[in-house]
């Protein structure tokens, strides 16, 4: 078939690769001048099934409300005249029960574990390198109270297929020598040995080049999706700034803009942008930096080692489609990074960035047909877009081909 993929982030690019590998004639439409210049440009770098716990929970409900009034939390809520935000918030609140937390987490974990296997198979098949490290990820807490609570949360993941090790501060220094100087600040943590790290932008750029050269994928950059031409229950073409693009199937992977397009055509797609900040810093002393990925769970800061660079990311800010940033937005992030890795970097050399995660109220992405028989969703990945990208692409390719997916689709398929 002729398949049009809307969006060339890491999610859309992965979908294009798997669709083209199936023999389809694939066209990717992207408003930016190249791949991965939106949400996929910069993130914590964590390919992390260990981070599969759904955001919506009884505890998150309290933090969400506190985020309206306080500016020093990892979650920040900027109230604005946006009715869709309030509708999204109501849906989010309905997900903040223990039952929904467990159900959503299990769906995310299933896709995250599958996707980790897919990205490794893809890298082996294509020979693509993306500053990947397969040393695991360390999730840690600073107080005994938060450590006990966190260990219970990760225990649930461990019971459902994620290998984990509960470790004390001395074991931490053995696994991650980069944290040896900061171990006294840490009460304990969880080590997930199958988690890994890598640069999503590198993967997307190299995969796009591979898909274009080897599989004939047509990437049309600088091309804005303006709408869909609908006839009955079928999308006949995608209207773009460069003219119509005819297609037998369309895959919607436009990140936070997916919800905007979907709602224009009667698709109930509650994807809302959640802003995050990230800094990429060259390591001045590589021996003082981390050797693997990690997350400071009390401060909601994630980091990874990408070659000779340190990537640090933080914050979930509800502020609409505002992508601006200022140095003050990174101050807490840098303070924490200096505490953990003293003498490793010079923050003045950092590349600063802010982007929008496409978040569903459940924090579970959505896939499959939506209202029209040939329109497929592959969106709403939230904070695990990098982790889930390759598994999502393969999953959607199976749906488009009419094959039974390799993983249980329960909880992943769209319902209008």
- Scanning 182-295, the segments in alpha helix (DSSP H) are 200-215, 258-264
Residue 71 pLDDT: 66
pLDDT tens-digit series, residues 298-328: 999 999 999 999 999 998 899 999 999 999 9
Instruction: Give the least confident one: 25-34, 67-76, 264-273.
Output: 67-76
Residue 79 pLDDT: 77
Residue 62 pLDDT: 72
Give the pLDDT band of residue 78 (cuts 50, 70, 90): confident
Q: Is 232 exposed, middle or buried (0-12, 13-18, 19+ CB in 10 A)?
A: exposed
Is residue 295 within 8 A of residue 46, CB to CB? The reply is: yes
Give the pLDDT band of residue 415 (cuts 50, 70, 90): confident
pLDDT above 80 for 68: no
State both tokens at 373. 């028989």
Please choose, from the candidates 153, 76, 24, the residue with its C-alpha nearest in 3D space to the C-alpha of residue 328.
76
Q: Is 97 exposed, middle or buried (0-12, 13-18, 19+ CB in 10 A)?
A: middle
Round to whole Å and give the CA distance between 154 and 259: 31
Is residue 258 within 8 A of residue 65, CB to CB? The reply is: no
- Scanning 54-168, the segments in alpha helix (DSSP H) are 58-69, 83-94, 98-126, 144-159
pLDDT above 80 for 262: yes
Parallel, antiparallel, or unpaired for β 137-141 and 351-359?
A: unpaired
Percent of the chain with pLDDT over 90: 91
pLDDT tens-digit series, residues 135-168: 999 999 999 999 999 999 999 999 999 999 999 9
Give the pLDDT band of residue 69 (cuts 50, 70, 90): low
pLDDT above 80 for 60: no
Round to whole Å and give the CA distance between 139 and 297: 7
pLDDT above 80 for 61: no
Residue 74 pLDDT: 66
**Alpha-carbon dihedral sign for residues 63, 64, 68, 74:** positive
Residue 321 pLDDT: 95
Stretch 350-368: mean pLDDT, rounded?
A: 97
pTM of the model: 0.96
Round to whole Å and give the CA distance between 400 and 412: 15
Residue 356 pLDDT: 96
Residue 73 pLDDT: 60
Residue 173 pLDDT: 87
Round to whole Å and give the CA distance between 49 and 326: 31
Stretch 83-89: mean pLDDT, rounded?
A: 92
């Amino acid at each position: 078939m002729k398949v049009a993929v809307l969006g060339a982030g890491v999610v859309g690019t992965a979908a294009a690769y798997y669709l083209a590998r199936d023999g389809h004639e694939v066209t990717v439409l992207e408003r930016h001048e190249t791949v991965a210049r939106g949400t996929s440009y910069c993130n914590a770098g964590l390919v992390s099934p260990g981070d599969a716990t759904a955001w919506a929970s009884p505890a998150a409900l309290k933090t969400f409300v506190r985020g309206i009034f306080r500016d020093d939390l990892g979650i920040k809520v900027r109230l604005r005249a946006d009715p869709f935000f309030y509708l999204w918030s109501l849906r989010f609140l309905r997900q903040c029960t223990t039952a929904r937390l467990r159900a959503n987490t299990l769906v995310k974990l299933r896709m995250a574990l599958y996707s980790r296997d897919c990205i490794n198979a893809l890298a082996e098949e294509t020979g693509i390198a993306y500053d990947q490290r397969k040393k695991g990820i360390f999730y840690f807490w600073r107080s005994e109270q938060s450590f006990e609570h966190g260990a219970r949360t990760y225990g649930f993941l461990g019971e459902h297929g994620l290998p984990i090790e509960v470790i004390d501060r001395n074991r931490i220094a053995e696994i991650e020598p980069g944290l040896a100087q900061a171990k006294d600040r840490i009460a304990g943590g969880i080590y997930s040995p199958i988690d890994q790290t890598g640069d999503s932008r590198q993967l997307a750029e190299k995969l796009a080049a591979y898909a274009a050269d080897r599989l004939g994928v047509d990437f049309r950059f600088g091309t804005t999706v303006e709408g869909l031409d609908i006839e009955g229950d079928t999308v006949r073409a995608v209207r773009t700034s460069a003219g119509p693009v005819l297609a037998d199937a369309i895959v919607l992977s436009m990140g936070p803009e997916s919800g905007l397009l979907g709602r224009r055509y009667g698709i109930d797609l509650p994807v809302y942008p959640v802003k995050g900040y990230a800094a990429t810093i060259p390591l001045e002393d590589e021996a003082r930096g981390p050797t693997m990925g990690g997350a400071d769970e009390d401060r909601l800061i994630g980091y990874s080692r990408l070659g000779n660079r340190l990537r640090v990311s933080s914050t979930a800010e509800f502020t609409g489609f505002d992508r601006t940033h200022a140095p003050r937005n990174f101050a807490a992030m840098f303070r924490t990074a200096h505490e953990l890795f003293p003498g490793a970097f010079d923050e003045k050399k950092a590349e600063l960035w802010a982007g929008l995660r496409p978040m569903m109220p459940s924090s579970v992405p959505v896939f499959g047909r939506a209202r029209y028989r040939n329109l497929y969703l592959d969106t709403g990945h939230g904070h695990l877009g990098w982790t889930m990208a390759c598994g999502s692409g393969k999953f959607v390719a199976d749906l488009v081909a009419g094959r039974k997916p390799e993983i249980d689709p329960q909880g992943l398929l769209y319902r209008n």
